Structure 1
């Protein structure tokens, strides 16, 4: 009954959004006439301009552009990732359905929920984060495909959005990863997703210290497995912060950000569509209400739960507290995800769509210059897909296929480079391999002393 009411409300809102978008198209005088290549007039104009990226990106025939600096790795990715050649649909229906893609993957449940085994990891300040190891449902033996390029099952670390919700998008990625031989694990921040809040400290938006402790713990438990990381939506801010701050010292082999938010301070200050704004805000209030009493010692909870914007909520949570007061600007100086992006030293793929209704306008929200100059950053920019949607015609998520293909191609490329290069000579794309001796020393140090405390529980 409850889900029927929720679905009805979503359908009503979607119809209203569709009507508004249609009216705006008609009023602007746009005519959807088919051009000589089967594209609409609007698409031909878009291809002529294409945001001035043609000189910096390699176009995939019939597919989406991979925007990056020219390199051997970029060429190899285009040759070995079939998902980069898939078309993303076109027409006015795709523009309207971007909202449906977003609503379906962020708010609707999956048909079969994943089964997890949870590790509670106690940190140095006695705070707790949790790691949810996905243990089921097990895929059929015929559908499970072993990855021959990995000597042991690789770890797929998934970072959900910064609000802690485990979405349909995340659960479907876990299921697909298990089918392809990965061992998925979901990172939960302090107080998120029923993770206990044991200290009067919440994790700031771009503070990677807790994530680093979790990755070190994963490496400690699985020293022979490669670690890949995937982040969703605003959770990409934490992953990008970690990749920049730790640079070549990270244990992560490759990373993918699905519908990331890059300029986060501007995103908090902007006014997105009211439906998404209030949905995210109400969900945050609901989650934090569980700790209202204890948080009242450090936060003005009455003002927090009466806030009317994401900006105000974040500011009251971390800036205007009872213990200290810091300016909004200084808060983002230490939490902006791109503050150390020049230090990223492993391949990172960002999957974005031009019609993302949550991120905002492409010109003001995508730092295209970074992808033109940094050989480790790749942007797959599609015309359609919404926010964390990317639903193909066969109802599968093609961003998930692209993610796993990217990890496989990156691993194969570095393996070929290692075989090609001999002696002390090393290619610039193998910088992160030079730290192997250092990492092995760290692993031996970790094995000699128990620096982690954890407790496992099984749940759905």
Structure 2
């Protein structure tokens, strides 16, 4: 067989595999007149096709692999876990990885998923550390990772006041370290809300939001029914049943326990989040209300086949994002929810490399 014939067969095989797996070049939404064009030119990963692992081309198989299989295979021990007492007596924590690095090494603050814990975030912590060589500070919210819950207060999307205290603690530990931020799934709600409230006052130099739902008041409306029911039961198991004595004073607890879906949970649990009604809750929590005040560089990544944070959630904000010179939204055809695996036998996160390369572009 001639070399040219071999190349032709290889090209045909590659094209067939791309079609089978749904490989496509990512789409990008940004202000072409702003600074984002120069940033994108330095990210060759976005100029090539994202080729998802062929046997994970189905969105449900991809999510199952991410959430059940891959998480159990990651071996990582955190250097230290510091429990923090908030001003109202509530308890959060910061889990560290890379504590032995020089004091001036940058630190990535990671904000976890809706029921995230130390084990579920190991892969992202490991990957970000490997790709950047930087220190990682995983900020654990109230009730996560079996933390004590002395105060009857929790939030699906976290509290910006808690995050402010956690960030202040991180800065106190490493005052010479530049800070960056990554939010994953529900953690993106906290990240963007915090960035919008802080504006130019935030200590973060750049941030990355992985698979956001955008408007938290509507974000659960299009979630796949199966995941909605499963995740609702997981919320009960994680945040309510282990702390039943803590929640006794909350009058709306029986109503919350009666819900069946995430959308119903989000609409009914506002008292558990520390608010008198749903309106005051959403005004304080929803990142969309302050999104236009985000001033630092921010990249967002969504998959068009995400069964949890549906791509429909992005549609109302396309035109706004294309007028903001500091925000870039990237979408891929495949990737499911927070997975974005590539490779055949040695699967790895395409998204984690993109996060790391994007954040490294914003070093001095």
Task: Give the direction of change, closer, same or farther, for the CA distance of 1:286–1:188 in structure 2 (3 Å limit).
Answer: same
Tell me the SS of whatever aligns to 1:153.
Answer: coil
- Is 1:262 aligned to 2:218, yes or no? no
Task: Give the direction of change, closer, same or farther, for the CA distance of 1:175–1:106 in structure 2 (3 Å limit).
Answer: same
Aligned equivalent of 1:283: 234
Aligned equivalent of 1:178: 129
Relative contact order: is structure 1 or structure 2 higher (C-alpha 8 Å, sep ≥ 6)?
A: 2
**Equivalent pair of 1:95/1:355 in contact (CA under 8 Å):** no
Aligned equivalent of 2:300: 350
- Is 1:362 aligned to 2:323, yes or no? no
1:207, 1:302 → 2: CA distance?
24
Aligned equivalent of 1:126: 89
**Equivalent pair of 1:98/1:356 in contact (CA under 8 Å):** yes
Aligned equivalent of 1:111: 73
Tell me the SS of whatever aligns to 2:73.
Answer: coil
TM-score, normalisation: structure 2: 0.84
1:347, 1:314 → 2: CA distance?
29
**Equivalent pair of 1:231/1:258 in contact (CA under 8 Å):** yes
For residue 313 of structure 1, report the CA deviation from its aligned partner: 2.3
**Equivalent pair of 2:52/2:342 in contact (CA under 8 Å):** no
**Equivalent pair of 2:143/2:154 in contact (CA under 8 Å):** yes
Task: Give the direction of change, closer, same or farther, for the CA distance of 1:354–1:291 in structure 2 (3 Å limit).
Answer: same
Tell me the SS of whatever aligns to 1:264.
Answer: coil
Tell me the SS of whatever aligns to 1:334.
Answer: helix
1:202, 1:112 → 2: CA distance?
28
**Equivalent pair of 1:206/1:241 in contact (CA under 8 Å):** no
For residue 319 of structure 1, report the CA deviation from its aligned partner: 4.1
Tell me the SS of whatever aligns to 1:152.
Answer: coil
Aligned equivalent of 2:32: 70
Q: Deviations over 1:93-152 (max 9, x none)?
A: 78952222222222333323321211111122122210011259x9xxxxxxx9xxx992
Aligned equivalent of 1:23: none
2:301, 2:314 → 1: CA distance?
17
1:226, 1:324 → 2: CA distance?
34
2:361, 2:303 → 1: CA distance?
22
* 1:336 corresponds to which of 281, 286, 304: 286
Aligned equivalent of 2:5: none
For residue 311 of structure 1, report the CA deviation from its aligned partner: 2.7
Aligned equivalent of 2:60: 99
2:75, 2:310 → 1: CA distance?
31
1:410, 1:233 → 2: CA distance?
23
Aligned equivalent of 2:9: none
Task: Give the direction of change, closer, same or farther, for the CA distance of 1:264–1:352 in structure 2 (3 Å limit).
Answer: same
Aligned equivalent of 1:152: 104
Task: Give the direction of change, closer, same or farther, for the CA distance of 1:126–1:113 in structure 2 (3 Å limit).
Answer: same
> Would you say how many aligned residue pairs link Structure 1 and Structure 2?
343
CA RMSD of aligned residues (A): 3.1
For residue 220 of structure 1, report the CA deviation from its aligned partner: 1.5
Gaps of 5+ in 2: 1-14
2:207, 2:288 → 1: CA distance?
15
TM-score, normalisation: structure 1: 0.67
Correspondences of 1:78-97 after superposition (within 5 Å): 78-89=40-51, 97=58
